Structure 1
């Protein structure tokens, strides 16, 4: 069984994705509400609630195969304040990394490190933040590579995320089967290639292009995940639905009309946006809808516009409401057995701030576990 630490753990979605063949040695999150959900689903035996900067290496037991860190994205997001790794939230990478270097000094460095964040991390400060992270890993004795994976390969949600995977040179001998000689478009986006090109030469010497299989085509559509009798939300009144339609431009209204003509149950997702009117130049609120069988990217509910509204079209019948907490959890790949907070905002925040479970499982199955298996086979040969 492989072992791991889970930093910035949230509700334990990385743990859910790694699965039962992985043993959690330690988990940490600052938010007591998220930690409450973590302990509700996973227990609190290995959970320590508090600021990562206050952790010491004696809080961390053993030598883990993997340290997973989905560190806060707000300062690296394109919609954020541009503070980058110097920001209060995304800057928490540094106390995490200090722990990793301290473990290395004690001879307990994780064999693998996985960092997850928004794709804006690639361009933050002109690519300097990404280069800083990769350079730190390289100086720490790791081979470094990255992939951009959209959760839409596995669940009906558009959620592209950056995954930086690092393997300790002294512990992991990387098989050629897990490497490609040049970037592949499926997992190595143009933005990632551009960010790589800006890396210092010394860091590029430790860079690898990870090679994982192309995912099989997803069969589930968003409508499959929608609850007929939602818990935690109510259907809008006729007047409220009418108001949403009035906020749509002609282009978006045409989408609703086309959905009516399909003759099947259609579910669209709506975000409210502030747009500038092309005729008057005035800013006004607009409702923008998509009917492409996938939901827009879940976000944390910091404001009303962050909550996804769904519109259910069945022939000429049109209904609308907020996305339910269970639907949000399903979009993240969490099973229905996962216990959610009763409070709507807490449940939505938990999902919107997490990592998609099936993406973690895919990475574990096709990269993390093969890397560790190759290492164990090499150790067995050396001991024979």
Structure 2
């Protein structure tokens, strides 16, 4: 036990808001941090979280309930990092696009409230993770409002776009706002592939305090790899769809897709592709990805949000729903404990999470050096007083 205590004391503490099933925690702890406190309001996610993590030592606290009911007195006062993966329902292209103050996405402001109430004890680094739709919501006003909210607390903000496809075979672009109370002032190269042109407006806004950290180049986006993550399943497994359902799937495909899968079906060996059900001109159809990459996993509350796996080759075609294990692997959490998980519970939870390797890359290359004071940045914008 003394060795464990010593190890934990050397790891900077994290407050994790909107924790879900703890994938951000896994990534942060791989990067050298220790999540000391977490919160989420969904019982199903908490059930998976506590089944996976061993927190019986009492070294970690989880507050189950709406963040609006969390009191600042519940939070540890010595955390170095705050992480918030706030709800994206009203910001994503698949959602209502109501904006940062609408519906569930309004919970972001409760995150800001608690940081504000921490006063001088607020963490030196604060992160917001969300969908890239935040950048275009209300013509960019919502992103500016989020940056300004952190500015009002004394944080300078860097904004990064990172696609999990750089680490895992899943197309999953996300925004990461990194706020720093004390960003270093050394000059660094301001632009990088992590800050595409559509993010540059935030750095040019003179009313915002921003910085751009000098970061290593991230891995190039993967071009393949989904097939390597597919769960082994016998040809006769009952999860493969029957002949009638498979025929309906094939009949819904557009001619160009039919031609593509017919060629793969005739080819030697086995290949895997993912498919989504969409509505085109009022008609539900299936669309198969042309590459060996998964589409973005989503919260599987309806059939249109669930992905199917298509197995092709040796003159055979089979189709089935993607499994919880495949969802976990595609989120970089293949060893997640699913022993007590219901299928839809797991699909929803993983589809609503942040990819582990994207978090760990950010933690290792940005957040930990920033906390340790070992990162160079170029500072721009207008400084604001710490609240």
- 1:120 alignment partner in structure 2: 133
Q: Is residue 137 of structure 1 aligned with residue 150 of structure 2?
A: yes
Per-residue Cα deviation, 1:114-150 (whole angstroms, up to 9, x for no partner): 1100000001111111000101111211110111000
Q: Which SS does the other structure have where 2:373 is aligned? A: helix
Distance of aligned partners of 1:358 and 1:340 in 2 relative to their CA distance in 1, 3 Å threshold: farther
Q: Distance in 1 between matches of 2:145 and 2:43?
A: 30
Identify the range of structure 1 (60-69 vs 347-356) with the bigger mean alpha-carbon deviation: 60-69
- 2:45 alignment partner in structure 1: 34
- 2:35 alignment partner in structure 1: 24
Matched-pair contact (CA < 8 Å) for 1:146–1:188: yes
Post-superposition shift, 1:233? 7.5
Q: Distance in 1 between matches of 2:279 and 2:83?
A: 37
- 1:209 alignment partner in structure 2: 212
Matched-pair contact (CA < 8 Å) for 2:52–2:336: no
- The correspondence of residues 194-343 of structure 1 with structure 2, limited to 5 A, is 194-197=201-204, 199=205, 201-203=206-208, 206-217=209-220, 218=222, 221-229=225-233, 234-276=239-281, 283-339=282-338, 341-343=340-342
Q: Distance in 2 between matches of 1:266 and 1:346?
A: 28
Post-superposition shift, 1:375? 6.1
- After TM superposition, where is structure 1 displaced by more than 6 Å over at least 4 residues in a row? none
Q: Distance in 1 between matches of 2:290 and 2:278?
A: 17
Matched-pair contact (CA < 8 Å) for 2:161–2:175: yes
Post-superposition shift, 1:168? 0.9
RMSD: 2.0
- 2:76 alignment partner in structure 1: 61
Q: Distance in 2 between matches of 1:219 and 1:248?
A: 23
- 1:379 alignment partner in structure 2: none
Distance of aligned partners of 1:122 and 1:240 in 2 relative to their CA distance in 1, 3 Å threshold: same
Matched-pair contact (CA < 8 Å) for 1:71–1:117: yes
Per-residue Cα deviation, 1:316-366 (whole angstroms, up to 9, x for no partner): 111110000000010000032433653111000110000000000000111
Distance of aligned partners of 1:270 and 1:220 in 2 relative to their CA distance in 1, 3 Å threshold: closer
Q: Distance in 2 between matches of 1:369 and 1:241?
A: 49
Q: Distance in 2 between matches of 1:29 and 1:227?
A: 30
Per-residue Cα deviation, 1:26-55 (whole angstroms, up to 9, x for no partner): 100010110111111124541010111111
Matched-pair contact (CA < 8 Å) for 1:341–1:347: no
Q: Number of aligned residue pairs: give it.
A: 357
Q: Which SS does the other structure have where 1:311 is aligned? A: strand
Per-residue Cα deviation, 1:202-240 (whole angstroms, up to 9, x for no partner): 21xx2112332222344860000001128x981111221
Q: Distance in 1 between matches of 2:228 and 2:22?
A: 24
Q: Distance in 2 between matches of 1:340 and 1:207?
A: 44
Post-superposition shift, 1:190? 2.5
Q: Distance in 2 between matches of 1:211 and 1:349?
A: 36
Q: Distance in 2 between matches of 1:19 and 1:320?
A: 37
- 1:188 alignment partner in structure 2: 195
Q: Is residue 365 of structure 1 aligned with residue 368 of structure 2?
A: no
Post-superposition shift, 1:247? 0.4
**Larger RCO, structures 1/2 (Cα 8 Å, 6+ apart):** 2
Identify the range of structure 1 (78-87 vs 318-327) with the bigger mean alpha-carbon deviation: 78-87
- The correspondence of residues 48-197 of structure 1 with structure 2, limited to 5 A, is 48-104=63-119, 107-169=120-182, 172-173=183-184, 176=187, 179-181=188-190, 183-184=191-192, 186-197=193-204
- Structure 1 length-normalised TM: 0.88
Distance of aligned partners of 1:209 and 1:196 in 2 relative to their CA distance in 1, 3 Å threshold: same
Distance of aligned partners of 1:174 and 1:315 in 2 relative to their CA distance in 1, 3 Å threshold: farther
Structure 1, unmatched stretches of 5+, are: 277-282, 377-384
Post-superposition shift, 1:79? 2.6
